[in-house]
Amino acid sequence: MTESATAAEPDEVFLRPGRCIDSDHPAVAAFAERIAGEVHDPVSAAVKLYYAVRDEIRYDPYVPYDDADTYRASAVLAKGRGYCVGKAALLAAAARARGIPARLGLADVRNHLATPRLLRLIGSDVFIYHGVTELWLDHGWVKATPTFNLSLCEKFGLRALDFDGRADALLHPFDRSGRAHMEYLRQRGSYADVPVDLIMPAMLAAYPRLARLAAGEPGDFAREAEEQA
């Protein structure tokens, strides 16, 4: 849930550009302007930015986890694809570009509906350091998860995750058929920028087979999801 409306105002660091949440990058600024440039209400602007990142940027777990660009907002925008942390960084960067304080939240999750190939490569259904965006709206932090684009949700039979700028948008525990989908296991904290020096070695150590494949032979996650449906 969102934090109390009496919470202290966020530090200025949540409005400044970071190494990965590079809100001052021209492409990020142009993206934020295109999506929400004419919107003056922060909540409405955040909602527009959320749906743009969710659906314009394709979710792809087959990314090079040893490459800093995987975690950098401007690089994810340029590629048009990214995994959860990269997409969350882009939403945070776009929000800061529009004057909305934003940060990255991390958690470990159990994902019951990954494709068989992805599960084989990971060797587990636990995904460490899942990323969400936390936005300061109406005097409180609100969580938004732009991970799964609408077309991918339709392939998987998932309910697309909506966001109204007021309530936390966390991944659904069940899919449309009532099957288990996402379970949050452990909160890893909130960060002003992507802690690449923390996430990168952890991902390479936890999922060496996935890291090797993603670096040399990317898969097609959307096609896998369609074949599984």
Q: How do the pLDDT tens digits run along the chain, 229 residues long? A: 344 344 578 899 999 999 999 999 999 999 999 999 999 999 999 999 999 999 999 999 999 999 999 999 999 999 999 999 999 999 999 999 999 999 999 999 998 668 888 888 899 999 999 999 999 999 899 999 999 999 998 888 888 899 999 999 998 877 777 776 789 999 999 999 999 999 999 999 999 988 877 555 556 777 777 776 5
pTM of the model: 0.92
Q: Hey, what are 204's tokens? A: 């390479």
Domain boundaries of the chain, sorted by first residue: 12-228
Domain 12-228, CATH class in plain words = alpha beta
Task: Report which residue type is found at 2.
Answer: T
Q: How far apart are CA 30 and CA 171, in angstroms?
A: 28
